[in-house]
Structure formats: C-alpha cells, structure tokens
Amino acid sequence: MKKSMTVFTATVCGTLLMTATPTQAAPKDPVRALKAQLVAGHGVRFADTTTTVDDDGKELLMRRQGAFQFSKKGMAAADITAKMSGPLGAVSGMNIPERAIAIGKVTYLSGGMWKKKMPAGKSWYKSDDFYGGAAGYFGQPINPVEPATLARLINKAKKVKNAYTGKITFKELDKVSPWFHASIPLRSHNDTEVSYTLTVGAAGLVTKVTSSYAATGVFDSGTWEGKTFAVETRFTGWGGKVSIKAPDAKKVTTKLEE
C-alpha cells in the first residue's frame, strides 16, 4: 500500500509539473521576421505623432501616416502624408497637408510648403531630395523596415520582455540607415543621441517605435534650445498588399516658382 501511494504521488506531481510548465516557443528573431516580410508588392502601414517636450510640458507638433512598399532588400517606395500644428505649421505652410511619394531615389512632393510654389497647372514637384518630405525633419528618424538598421538597433539595445531599448547617435544612424540619411540630410550635431524603444509583437515584427532626441541636434538655434522631439510610430498590416505609383506625369514639375 505504501509503495502504491508513493507511485501515485510521484505520478500526480509529475503530471502537475508538466502542466504548470508547458514548453515555451523560442522568441522570434525580429530581423529574420522582417526579412520574411520583404516581398515585392507587399508592405506595412504606419502612423506617427511628433511632440516637442520642454519644461512647459508637451505640445503636438505633427501627425503623419502612410505606407512602405517592399522589395527583397527592404523599402522600395513610400507614400506619406503629414500635417504640422501650431505656429510653426502656419509659418512653414505645413498646416496644409503635405504628401510625399518616394520611389527609388526620386520623391514627388505636393501640398504643404510646396503648394504656393507650383507653376500653373502643376501639383507635384519632382526632387532627388526630401525622401520623407519636408516633414521628414520632424518625423521618425528610426525605420525598422531596413534590415541592417533593425539589426544595429537590436544589437545596441537591452531587451526587456517584448521591447528593445537603447541609444544611437545621428552619426551611427547615418552610416546604416538610408531612411535617416535621406529624411534629415542636413543636421547640426552628428553626436546627438537618439533614445529609442522597439516594441515587438508575437510574430517578431515591430509594432511600435518610440524615439526622442534634442531638437538642437537638427536645428541649432535659440528657438529649439531646451526642447526635445519625441516621436511615436505604430506599424500595422505587415505583409499586406501595397502599390505605390508615381503621380500623373502631366501634373509634375521639376522647377518651383519663387
């Protein structure tokens, strides 16, 4: 009887132990998960919010939304609409929504600060600059759609649960990220640090990016002294079909009026 009870107890305890500690799936590598999404004609959608932060608190600066279209190597095209708030938006003309369509190394710009500079009958300005539009100077400097950039960010970060948190300088970003280089081509201080957090979903794909950095890293003037740009971007629809095309050539100009 005593032997039977011992066997019974061991069996029950073993069963409870197996039930309490199920086999956990290995965490997915975000870089590998990203590369699996890089299929031509597919992409991801995003929306971000930029605020300025100083001793007086937070103030909404800009909202932006759009989509990235993929190639096998990463981002092949982008379609971004942005609108700035407050006095800066009014002064710059960016209180009118700006739209930027980037395909390869060419960008088509409409609305915003470009609207009043268009020749008659034209509504798009073709440029080799401003990949993220003029709004790129105030937008998300970190793009997790670029495999090399994502790998660098993860390598520099500390992982806590489903988030990677770290810091990276403008200079480091410029070397690894075509998005950063094209979005903010002119900067005041390359040693400016960007603090960032990448939040990763169950599939290993980035669902949110938050970043912050000193505004004087880009605009070294008294207006921006003591202010921080804080950007939050959310990514949705990974792997969905995305088709980004150039605007009607008849409405495109390569020259702006003064």
Q: Which CATH number covers residue 99?
A: 2.50.20
pLDDT value for 92 = 85
pLDDT value for 190 = 94
What sign for the dihedral angle of Cα 89, 90, 93, 98? Answer: positive
- Which tokens hold the place of 175? 């070397």
pLDDT value for 167 = 98
Residue 19 placed within a domain:
no
Q: What is the SS3 assignment for 187?
A: coil
**Number of Cβ atoms within 10 Å of the Cβ of 190:** 12
Strand locations in the chain (E): 42-54, 57-70, 75-84, 98-103, 106-111, 124-127, 158-160, 163-169, 193-200, 206-214, 228-241, 252-253
* Domains in the chain, number: 1
Mention every residue, 6+ apart, whose C-beta is less than 8 A from residue 249: none
Residue 18 placed within a domain:
no
**Number of Cβ atoms within 10 Å of the Cβ of 157:** 17
Residue 229 placed within a domain:
yes
- Which tokens hold the place of 44? 């991801």
Residue 246 placed within a domain:
no
| CA 161-167-169 angle, 5° bins | 155
Residue 120 placed within a domain:
yes
Region of residue 39 (left: phi > 0; alpha: psi -120 to 50; beta: else): beta
pLDDT value for 27 = 54
Tell me the CA distances in angstroms from 61 to 57, 70, 186, 197, one per residue in order.
13, 29, 20, 20
Residue 39 placed within a domain:
yes
Q: What is the mean pLDDT of each run of 10 residues along the chain (258 residues)?
A: 39 39 57 96 97 92 96 92 91 91 94 94 91 90 96 96 96 95 90 98 96 96 94 97 96 92
Domain interval for residue 39: 30-241
**Number of residues in the chain:** 258
Residue 24 placed within a domain:
no
Residue 204 placed within a domain:
yes
